[in-house]
């Protein structure tokens, strides 16, 4: 009988000690900040990197827009036509305006087309159903008074995707950045 009472007493003491330890553990706040940071750090860092990547992609788009505006002026004023530019020479002139952010020689694509009217202009992205680039680019700078569309295209790599929102619109995790200038050539000689 004494053995049964002592066994019961031991169980009660262990239970009380366990409850006391549990309460003491719950009251301790020493590692709470580290645990909370561990829970919040991953989503926070993912959000920060997604914001930074979005900013870089939009900055790249604005850089390409500036380059297309500057280089399209060569065609609009007839400088490219009178100097005998072909697509490679025109691309070289574009690359002089873009540096640091792009791999211009291997990545920037130039598409220059002449149209009969502004309503006939096709500005659809040259991407097929599988998300691959359709490279049917040409160089037609036109003559005096012609309607011309100059497009610069670049496949920009996208690394961060957040909550299913992804900047990539192409296969391989890339975003096609397109900068366009549409104008009528000046009456140059």
Residue 51 belongs to a domain: no
Tens of pLDDT along the chain (189 residues)?
Answer: 555 666 676 677 666 666 676 666 666 666 777 888 888 998 888 888 888 888 888 999 999 999 999 999 999 999 999 999 999 999 999 988 887 778 887 889 999 999 999 999 999 989 898 889 898 999 999 999 999 999 999 988 888 766 556 677 778 888 889 999 999 999 987
Q: How many CB atoms lie within 10 A of CB 42?
A: 9
Among candidate residues 126, 95, 115, 135, the one with its CA nearest the CA of residue 181: 115
Where in the sequence is the domain holding 143, given as residue range(s)?
Answer: 58-184
- Tokens 């680019």 locate to 137
Domain count, the chain: 1
pTM for the full predicted model = 0.74
Residue 135 belongs to a domain: yes
109's CB contacts (< 8 A; 6+ apart) are: 135, 137, 152, 153, 154
Residue 41 belongs to a domain: no
Residue 88 belongs to a domain: yes
Residue 108 belongs to a domain: yes
Residue 103 belongs to a domain: yes
Residue 39 belongs to a domain: no
Residue 38 belongs to a domain: no
């Amino acid at each position: 009988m004494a053995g049964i009472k002592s066994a019961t007493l031991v169980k009660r003491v262990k239970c009380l000690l366990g409850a006391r330890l549990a309460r003491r553990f719950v009251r301790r706040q020493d590692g709470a900040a580290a645990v909370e940071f561990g829970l919040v750090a991953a989503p926070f860092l993912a959000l920060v990197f997604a914001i930074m990547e979005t900013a870089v992609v939009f900055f790249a788009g604005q850089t390409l827009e500036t380059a297309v505006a500057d280089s399209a002026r060569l065609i609009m004023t007839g400088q490219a036509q009178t100097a005998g530019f072909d697509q490679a020479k025109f691309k070289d002139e574009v690359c002089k305006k873009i540096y640091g952010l792009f791999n211009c020689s291997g990545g920037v694509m130039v598409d220059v087309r002449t149209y009969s009217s502004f309503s006939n202009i096709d500005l659809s992205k040259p991407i097929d159903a599988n998300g691959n680039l359709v490279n049917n680019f040409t160089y037609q700078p036109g003559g005096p008074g012609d309607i011309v569309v100059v497009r610069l295209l670049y496949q920009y790599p996208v690394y961060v995707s957040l909550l299913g929102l992804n900047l990539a619109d192409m296969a391989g995790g890339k975003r096609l950045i397109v900068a366009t200038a549409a104008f009528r050539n000046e009456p140059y000689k």
